[in-house]
Structure 1
């Protein structure tokens, strides 16, 4: 007969420290699924196009860093074991997005944002605070965050040159996954946030996107 191991708060804290390093250290994140772009060909592009696409992919990578931090913070403070498992499962799936964006940035001769540690810390704190308030609020943050990411992805897909099929394949799969994660959070009992809260989240995301696009 097998028994599930019950982790103490210290165990979970150490696990979160390990996960944070895997999230922030370039090359440390290993995807469970291959990149949707791995068999697609690179196309010639001029320097201005390359820099713009790299900026968009850097924003998306930073967004995934924030998502990891949010989920990990929530998992640390979630009250119900099944909610904690949902947070950890979502974070594991988001690792794919993190790695795919980083791979694409490498192909574009660019790198990840220097601001990632700052945004990671902020997002982790928000996630942990949400988990302390209630699991319903915590799941609501997941849903609201995924809706925000979905809008970013829609905008970036419109900005991508039509011939950049590699970046497009990655963003389209990410969009599909984000919609699913948001729906799952609401179905699990997540709160639907009022418009002022969503507007505040949007303003914060604008700061992140402007900073990550350039560096």
Structure 2
């Protein structure tokens, strides 16, 4: 049986999320064997049917040469610093929109390309240990399988250029390459009321306790 991620306080966080908004606005695969196979960028709308099973990620759920992305929790005033592996870490009080990018081909495949957002990028999570600190921002409508396998491998690169995230020289097979992207406030979504922030704080605190328990 696969390990999977249960989002802390999913019902509460779902209430914090703004209505669906196209904060990921586009993308493309520009080179590599994925490009030669006709791979393209696909913006997923949760719930989605492109994966098997539906609305799942993290364990060979796509098996296509495409690059996928979907929006997670949007426009949250975070209560504490969110660690990143590239770029600037959002700090307490910053309004953050979270996004998930996946490259999950059937066999070893290379890819370079980009993803565009409707607001500037703060930073990017690329390493397994960094994902846990922001999992309270995961989309409650998605099942995240094999959370311990998330991230990029040696040689996979990302670059931030304003509202564009460049993906350079990715090579993936099983279970695929994944990054989480934090952007600034999305102009197409509403900011949640301050009264709702304690629920997010509780979710992030719960993840912190879980992380410390696993280390013990």
Task: Give the TM-score category using the shorter length.
Answer: under 0.3
Q: Decide which structure has greater helix share.
A: 1
Q: Decide which structure has greater strand share.
A: 2
TM-score, normalization by structure 2 = 0.27
TM-score, normalization by structure 1 = 0.27
- Which structure has the larger Rg over C-alpha atoms? 1
